[in-house]
Structure 1
Amino acid sequence: MKINYNYIKAFLVLVLVIFLFGFAEKRNEIRPLAKVVVKFTEFENLYLTEEAVNKLLIQNNVTVTGVGKETLDLNRVEKVLNTHDMIENAEVFLTLDGTLKTSIVQKRPIGRILGKEIFYIDRLGEKMPMSTYYSARVPVITGVGEREIKEVYPLLDHISQDRFLQEHITGIRRLNGGVYELEVRKMDFSLFVGKVENLDTKFNNFKAFYKKAFKDDILNTYKMVDLQFGNQVVCTKK
């Protein structure tokens, strides 16, 4: 019987490759993590820092550097990070060189509540604490507490998604009965929107009025602009 040495060689090479692969994978698992890299996405303004992220992990007894990869619970790291009041979503993953990379989407404030308690409302309509690192330029809201967040959120959300309104609306005031009055940048008049409803119609009417009055240079002749009457813009002169 003739022995085919080519098959034997191929088999030995295959066994060697499997052994080396398993050995390399095992060494990679027990290799300690070298460093942690935190990357903030979505927005340039930082409401928390890399140092704050690392501090959060330490406070929750999550050790990431100097431990083997096989002992690191990535799901737990993500859960800890997602409990932070400034983080909307966090994802963590490992690289081959032993780096733990953390991708963080920060919460984005769209309004600031001024009252007994001062806090932001974020783009998802949730309460967000003030940051010690950055102060957002968003409309200031008075007459609203935590109980009225759901009521005022559609108004804030509408303003935050419209560039014209973002540039011109600086303040929101809740009056008795759940009606709202807005402050307009560099203008003496108040903008009355009434209940938080029919916002598309109301603000489209306001844009048309503003552009026409600006062109005619008569914006400063008004003390009140009322949008709550259907397709009408009712103005009160000084």
Structure 2
Amino acid sequence: MKVNWNYIKAFALLALVIFLYSFSSRRNAVRKVEEVKIQFTNGENLYVTENAVNKLLIVNTDTTANQSKEIIDLNKLESVLDTHEMIKNADVYLTVDKKLIATITQRKPLARVYGKESFYIDASGKKMPLSKVYSARVPLVTGVNDKDLPQVYPLIHKIENDKFLKEHITTITKDKAGNYMLGLRVLDFEVLLGDTNKLENKFKNFKAFYKKAMKDKKLDVYKTVSLQFDNQVVCTTK
């Protein structure tokens, strides 16, 4: 019977590859983590500090330098970080050079509510606590509470994503009748918005009014500018 050495060589090579892979995986699993590194997306760590993230990692998994990679639960670490009130998303992974990397994306506040309870409204329209380490420069909202978030969020989202509105609007006030008033950064008149319906049309009218009044050099003569009526801007003078 003729021996097929090609099959034997192929089988031996496969066995060697499996052995080396198993040995490498086992050896890599028991290697020690030499460094824990925190990274913030966009380079921003405004609302949660690197120290705070480090504490969460250490308290929940005893993840310190020289910790065995084999016993680190990366999914658990991510879940713990994701539950932090200032963190939007966390990605935790191990590198081949024995580093544990935690990449943190923070929540972004769009407005600050001031009242019996003060808090931020974040980019997802959710309630966000104030930070102890940083105060965001965002429009100040009064007369609302967390139940009003579905109503007021489209307004602050519109302001955040419009260069002109973001530059000019600094305050948002809701009165007892449910109407909204906007305060401006420089100009000494109040914008009566009404409800938060038809925002696109209302702000289109406001921009047209602003452009015309600025051209006529009359921006400083108005006391109020009302956008509550369809296709028109109603003004009162001082």
Q: Which residue of 2 aligns with 1:230?
A: 230
Q: Which residue of 1 aligns with 2:62?
A: 63
Q: Which residue of 1 aligns with 2:121?
A: 121
Where do 4+ consecutive residues of structure 1 move more than 6 Å? none
1:50-99 Cα deviation digits (max 9, x unpaired):
1111112334x222233322211111111100111111111212211222
TM-score, normalised to structure 1, is: 0.92
In 2: Cα distance, 1:2 partner to 1:146 partner: 83
Aligned: 1:51 with 2:51 = yes
1:116-174 Cα deviation digits (max 9, x unpaired):
22211101111111112222111001111222222211111111111111000000111
- Report percent identity of matched pairs: 54
Q: Does the 8 Å contact 1:168/1:184 carry over to 2?
A: yes
Aligned: 1:215 with 2:215 = yes
Q: Does the 8 Å contact 1:42/1:106 carry over to 2?
A: no
Letter of the 1:63 counterpart: D
Q: Does the 8 Å contact 1:206/1:233 carry over to 2?
A: yes
* Match runs of 1:197-208 below 5 Å: 197-208=197-208
- Provide closer, same or farther for how the CA distance between residues 43 and 135 of structure 1 changes in structure 2, counting only shifts above 3 A: farther
* Match runs of 1:1-238 below 5 Å: 8-9=8-9, 11-42=11-42, 44=44, 46-59=46-59, 61-65=60-64, 66-238=66-238
Q: Does the 8 Å contact 1:39/1:101 carry over to 2?
A: yes
Q: Does the 8 Å contact 2:45/2:106 carry over to 1?
A: no
- Provide closer, same or farther for how the CA distance between residues 24 and 43 of structure 1 changes in structure 2, counting only shifts above 3 A: closer
Letter of the 1:169 counterpart: I
In 2: Cα distance, 1:95 partner to 1:132 partner: 32
Q: Does the 8 Å contact 1:43/1:106 carry over to 2?
A: no
Q: Does the 8 Å contact 1:108/1:123 carry over to 2?
A: yes
Letter of the 1:23 counterpart: F
In 2: Cα distance, 1:155 partner to 1:45 partner: 27
Q: Does the 8 Å contact 1:45/1:134 carry over to 2?
A: no
**How far does residue 193 in structure 1 lie from its aligned partner after superposition?**
0.2
Q: Does the 8 Å contact 1:115/1:143 carry over to 2?
A: yes
- Provide closer, same or farther for how the CA distance between residues 112 and 128 of structure 1 changes in structure 2, counting only shifts above 3 A: same
The number of aligned residues is 237
- Provide closer, same or farther for how the CA distance between residues 44 and 217 of structure 1 changes in structure 2, counting only shifts above 3 A: farther
Moved more, 202-211 or 63-72: 63-72
In 2: Cα distance, 1:4 partner to 1:226 partner: 92
In 2: Cα distance, 1:83 partner to 1:119 partner: 18
1:171-220 Cα deviation digits (max 9, x unpaired):
01110121100001111100000011110000011011111111221100
Q: Does the 8 Å contact 1:110/1:160 carry over to 2?
A: yes
Letter of the 1:139 counterpart: P
In 1: Cα distance, 2:97 partner to 2:196 partner: 53
RMSD across aligned C-alpha pairs, in angstroms?
1.8
**How far does residue 42 in structure 1 lie from its aligned partner after superposition?**
4.5
